Amino acid sequence: MTKRRGLLIILSSPSGAGKSTLARRLRAWDQNIALSISATTRAPRPGEIDGADYHFIDDASFKAMVAAGGMLEHAHVFGHFYGSPSDPVQRAIDAGRDVLFDIDWQGAQQIRNSSLGPHTLSIFLLPPSISELRRRLENRAQDDDGVIARRMQKSWDEISHWDGYDFVLVNDDLDQTEARLKTIVEATRLRRLQQPDLTDHVRNLHAEFEET
pLDDT tens digits, 112-164:
999 899 999 999 999 989 888 888 787 866 667 777 877 788 888 899 999 99
User: What domain range is 201 assigned to?
Assistant: 8-36+97-211
pLDDT in tens, 55-90: 999 999 999 999 999 999 999 987 899 999 999 999
Average pLDDT over residues 94-103: 94
Average pLDDT over residues 17-46: 94
In a domain, 142, yes or no: yes
Q: What is the pLDDT of residue 141?
A: 63
Domain count, the chain: 1
In a domain, 43, yes or no: no
User: pLDDT: is 170 or 156 the higher one?
Assistant: 170
Q: What is the pLDDT of residue 142?
A: 63
Residue 168, pLDDT above cutoff 50? yes
In a domain, 22, yes or no: yes
In a domain, 127, yes or no: yes
Q: What is the mean pLDDT of the chain?
A: 91
In a domain, 110, yes or no: yes
Rg, Å, the chain Cα set: 20
Q: Judging by DSSP bridges, how do beta strands 71-77 and 120-126 pair with one another? A: unpaired
Query: Rounded to 5 degrees, what angle do the CA atoms 52, 56, 57 make?
Result: 145
Residue 23, pLDDT above cutoff 70? yes
Residues 6+ apart with CB under 8 A from 171: 13, 17, 18, 22, 125, 126, 127, 128, 177
Residue 37, pLDDT above cutoff 50? yes
In a domain, 78, yes or no: no
In a domain, 102, yes or no: yes
Q: What is the pLDDT of residue 170?
A: 96
Q: What is the pLDDT of residue 1?
A: 47
User: Which candidate, 125, 117, 74, 75, places its Cα nearest to that of 93?
Assistant: 117
CATH number at residue 119: 3.40.50.300
The C-alpha atoms of residue 164 and residue 162 are separated, in whole angstroms, by 6
User: Which candidate, 209, 89, 109, 212, places its Cα nearest to that of 164?
Assistant: 109
Query: Rounded to 5 degrees, what angle do the CA atoms 196, 202, 203 make?
Result: 100
In a domain, 90, yes or no: no
